[in-house]
Chains A and B, each alone.
Chain A
Amino acid sequence: MKTNTRLSLLLMALSLGASNPILAKCSPGELRGLFGLTTQALGSAGIEGTTLSLFDFKNNHSVEEVYYVNTGGASWKSTATGNFSVSADCHLTLEVKDPGGTLYALKGRINPMNKVVNVLQTQPNNADVSLGVMRPVGLKRCNRNRFIGRYGFLSQGRVPLKNDPLTSVPESRLGWFIADGAQLEQPIEWVNTNGVITKTPPTQIPSDTLESCLIDLGQGSFAGVIVERGHRALYMDLAKGSYRLGTMLKVR
């Protein structure tokens, strides 16, 4: 009898869990803390720019952003502040303005299971289509120990030709490195530049992990952000005219 009661309760709990629509619902406080995001802006000529952002979602529906932009032959770092809201059906609406008053607006869809947010840039008067996947940092702050170990990496985008900087071509890079907190030891990298394959020799790249969880790679060559507690990092190329985004993911 006891067993039957327990079994009934278990079955009831399982059926409630399986059909419970609350599993897909969000509370207004769904987003808290640090989130990283990279986006590429697609125009009719292909990739026309890239961004890397670190958002800090506060309790009072305000949000602060530190971001890098690479577009129109220049890259820069700036900050923005604004507000966000999360609806019961897990939709994010976010608007921030930089110190010059320029608006940046996003619409997003939060996956309540892992707090990953698919986002689409929505500000008016912009023909580019920018979207990306915002991922939780999972930490309040970072130090060099959060970016150590072996990572595989992959990046892709458009880069200017060395002998003709006004012409850009597609490029992908694949490889791995070991990060020790101060530099990346990179034994191999496969580079595909417009169909021409090269293999780069072993190299060391200085790295600096900031308390904000942003990463500086190659002393200003790349900007990155640690997400998923250092299991993954997103990065962008900051070289002039080089619109290339990448992901670094731990081997284990």
Chain B
Amino acid sequence: MLQHPFKVILISLSVLLGADAKAGSCLHIKAPEGPYGIQLQGSLVDGKPYAAVGLASIHPSTFTLNLTASEGGSIIKRTILGTVSVVDCELNLAGSGVDLGFVLKGQITDRGREISVTAIQSAQPIVASGTMRPRLLRRCSNNTLKGTFTYISQGFDRVGTGTNVQWIPIGKIGDEQFDGKGCSVYKEYIKRSDHFTEEEGPLKYRVSEDCTFELLDQGTPAFLGVIVNKGQVMPYLKLVDGAVRLGEYTRINSSSTPLKCP
């Protein structure tokens, strides 16, 4: 006797749900593939602060990660190649060849829209964690940033040299409007140690086709960021020597008034 189609659907669903529960609901979560933005913040084991942003190209079994880090205030760019594995929502990016010892472990959450990651580097131990998010855009241009964003950033500025080095904590919250043509204007509140100030001004910016962007201070890149989540979120790193600061923009809208940058 043929089963009623409704019964078949119900039985199939219950089998699926049962299997899902056993695997801790990780079934049907797609393994990461394509371009992902990454942000990390923490410290080196000698206590110096660390922050990084990067763009990872994830393939079914390999990855390439272009990572720019401020390691104790020194800006270091690296390209790391390695292998990818995903088991039960745990992502493992393991460096190979000259990058052996680099491991980035991740937990896939929010249906793959957010991956919590922590760095494990046996060759150069650090304690740094953050987030990986899919880019979800094929390519970007200055117009991708058109709109207004809120941002928050936290970190340290190095003061002094040699044995007299001090790390001054700094935090900022602000807004920034990008005109889509390479000019932005920001307004921010800053707490630096026990001083509280407000600043505002224009900044030029340029967006690369790979969806990384730079904010320019008198023509020199002062911040490097990566556009993720269809341009809704943008982690960024201060690129100035002596600064270890990571921030994140979150989009408010996609409109802008005409702006003029000097």
Which chain A residues have a beta carbon within 8 Å of chain B's beta carbons? 18-21, 23-24, 42-44, 46, 107-109, 111-114, 116, 118-122, 124-131, 133, 149-154, 156, 169-176, 178, 187-188, 190, 192-197, 231, 247, 249-252
30 chain-A/chain-B pairs, Cβ below 8 angstroms: A20-B255, A23-B255, A42-B154, A44-B168, A46-B47, A109-B174, A109-B175, A112-B252, A116-B250, A118-B150, A122-B191, A127-B194, A128-B169, A129-B169, A129-B170, A129-B193, A130-B171, A131-B152, A152-B116, A153-B116, A156-B127, A171-B127, A176-B24, A176-B107, A194-B125, A195-B122, A197-B122, A231-B110, A251-B24, A251-B108
Do A192 and B118 form a contact, CB below 8 Å, given A107-B189, A122-B196?
A: yes
How many angstroms between the C-alpha atoms of A89 and B74 in the bound complex? 37
Q: Are A120 and B189 in contact (CB-based, < 8 A)?
A: yes
Give the contacting residue for B255; candidates A19, A42, A187; CB below 8 A: A19
Flag if B170 contacts A149 (CB, 8 Å). no
Which residues from chain A contact B166 at a C-beta distance below 8 Å? 44
Question: Residue among B29, B42, B109, B119 with the most chain A CB within 10 A?
Answer: B109
Q: Is the CB of A149 within 8 A of B25?
A: yes
Report A65 CB to chain B, min CB distance, Å. 19
* A20-B252 Cα distance, complex, nearest whole Å: 12
Question: Of all chain B residues, which has the CB nearest A89?
Answer: B175
CB–CB A23/B253 < 8 A: yes
- Give the one of B43, B49, B114 with max A CB within 10 A: B43
Known A111-B252, A133-B152; judge A249-B118 contact (CB<8 A): no
B contact set with A: CB distance below 8 Å: 24-26, 29, 41-43, 45, 47, 49, 89-90, 105-111, 114, 116-122, 125-129, 148, 150-152, 154, 156, 166-175, 189, 191-194, 196, 250-255
